[in-house]
Amino acid sequence: MIEANNPQRRSFIEIPEGSDFPIQNLPFGIFSVGDDEQRAGVALGEKVIDLSALFELGYLTSVDENVFSYPMLNPFIAMGNATTRAVRNELALLFDAENPKLREQKSDLEKVLFNQADVTMHLPVEIGDYTDFYSSKEHATNVGTMFRDPNNALLPNWLHLPVGYHGRASSIIPSGIPVRRPKGQSLPAEAENPVFGPSKLMDFELEMAFISHQGKDLGERISISEAEDYIFGMVIFNDWSARDLQKWEYVPLGPFLAKNFASSISPWIVTLDALEPYRVDGPVQEPTPLPYLQFEGKRSFDINLEAYITPENSVASKVCHSNFKFMYWNMAQQLAHHTINGCNINAGDFFASGTISGPTPDSYGSMLELAWKGTKPLKLDDGSERKFIQDHDTVTMKAYCDNGSVRMGFGEVSSKVLPAT
């Protein structure tokens, strides 16, 4: 067992009941306080542990230099999964209720602990490259049914490889930053020519993304058995989508301006190590994939996913409850497929799952599916209806794991939609 995952451990830091950040989680992020410089932190209960300060005070010995003082996590992530594990283990022991080493140093504790309510969270990594997969069979089937042909909803390649496309890294933004409704071209129903204007069908996509460690050299591949060693951790990923723009532009090269105006992420990266106790089997894959995509053991994770819509000056309505385990293609398969041609990956690259829809209508991960292309409007708790996302709506996504022994989560990604300019 990974030392930091010990379910019996308690911290001397108070952890509120139901917190996403018990001592078994220890997710990494980048934060700042006031006008201070951005640096690396770890969430514990309602606190942020300042890793840079902790290193300078001599408490972190599993790294030789202060890789936590940078405004992004890339230098730390590039050190690989053995270092990630060592730092998490060291933090777990340092903040253990039974360990007096840091607990009794009140002046040091004041230097390394901040209230989450008092800090600003930033993009945790400098994202070099971003890939978006399309790995939920239910989502691909629903979209294929609506956009193309109900009798051939899945294209012939779908059951043989994890379909994906290269997205835009520059417009991935942290939770809390408002998203402007995009303008673009669309083809109205029955019309012969496209029109230009604000998207009328703005949507969210409920996804998770994994962040990679440093990969191999160009030309080399990462096999499926070693793939998870190259995964640092995961965040919640809202891949904002403009369905009317998408429908008109996506043939033949796939998504473009309907997707690249913004993708919002939760700020804390939960490590793959922390997710270890939540491994489950994924869906049965039939037909059997080609050998380079065949795997052993449990490669999926039981992560509950929720999406909420909050109209302006109103209450939040839960519109979806899905689970990461519904994904047909797992992360190891995605990474093995991504590098099978010799494509290289770098520390801090992003790989999104694609919309994660489950088997039931309340588990669909987008408004397109939940309101079935606008034909089944959703009733919100304040009595209003939604077919898609309206201006001034806030979309919030949450993710958590609970195996009956330890509950932990990812925090949230929450962003408001502003009118087009």
Binding residues vs Ca ion (CB under 5 A):
132, 205, 239
Q: Report the nearest approach of Ca ion to the CB of residue 64 (Å).
A: 39
Instruction: Give dist(CA 382, CA 399) in Å, integer.
Output: 24
Q: How far is the CB of 254 from Ca ion (least distance, A)?
A: 11
SS3 347: coil
Nearer to Ca ion, 132 or 369 (CB): 132
**Nearest Cα to Cα of residue 415 among 261, 305, 260, 310:** 310
Residue 407's identity, in one-letter code, is R
Q: Among 122, 139, 337, 392, which one carries the catalytic annotation?
A: 139
Nearer to Ca ion, 237 or 268 (CB): 237
Q: In angstroms, give the least distance from the CB of 263 to Ca ion.
A: 8
Which residue in the block uniquely carries the two structure tokens 């460690």? 213
Q: In terms of CB distance, is 41 or 162 closer to Ca ion?
A: 162
Pair of tokens at residue 83: 């270092």
Please report how close the Cβ of residue 199 comes to Ca ion at its closest, in angstroms: 15
CB of 323 to Ca ion, least distance (A): 17
Output 240 or 248, the one with its CB closest to Ca ion. 240
Between 73 and 208, name the residue whose CB sits nearer to Ca ion: 208
Dihedral in degrees, nearest 10, Cα atoms 130, 305, 45, 102: -50
Contacts of 57 (CB under 8 A, 6+ apart): 108, 111, 112
Residue/partner pairs of 335-338 with CB below 8 Å, 24 or more apart:
335/212, 335/222, 335/224, 335/227, 335/230, 335/231, 336/221, 336/222, 336/223, 336/224, 336/227, 336/292, 336/293, 337/161, 337/162, 337/164, 337/292, 337/293, 338/131, 338/164
Q: Are the C-beta atoms of residues 295 and 285 closer than 8 Å to each other? A: no
Sign of CA dihedral 186, 191, 197, 199: negative
User: Smaller CB distance to Ca ion: residue 96 or 239?
Assistant: 239
User: By the 8 A CB rule, do 237 and 208 touch?
Assistant: yes
Q: Cβ 320 to Ca ion, closest distance in Å?
A: 15
**Is 139 among the catalytic positions?**
yes
Q: Which is nearer to Ca ion, 240 or 308 (CB)?
A: 240
Q: What is the dihedral of CA 74, 75, 79, 82, to 10 degrees?
A: -70
For 178-210, the three-class secondary structure string (H helix, E strand, C coil) is: CEECCEEEECCCCCCCCEEEECCCEECEEEEEE
Q: In sequence order, which residues have a C-beta less than 8 Å from that of residue 190 and are 6 or more positions away? A: none
Shortest Å distance, C-beta 108 to Ca ion: 44
Lookup: tokens for 339: 């590098």
Q: How many residues can be counted in the chain?
A: 421
In the complex, least distance from residue 132 CB atom to Ca ion, rounded to whole angstroms: 5
DSSP state letters, 24-74: TT--EEEEE-TTSPPEEEEEETTEEEEHHHHHHTT---SSSS-TTSSSSSH
- Per-residue burial over 57-81, b if 16 or more Cβ lie within 10 Å, else e, is eebbebbeebbbbbebbbbbbebeb
Q: Could you count the other beta carbons within 10 Å of the beta carbon of residue 295?
A: 17
Please, which residue, 5 or 396, has the CB nearer to Ca ion? 396
Q: Which residue is nearest to Ca ion (CB)?
A: 239
Catalytic (active-site) positions: 139
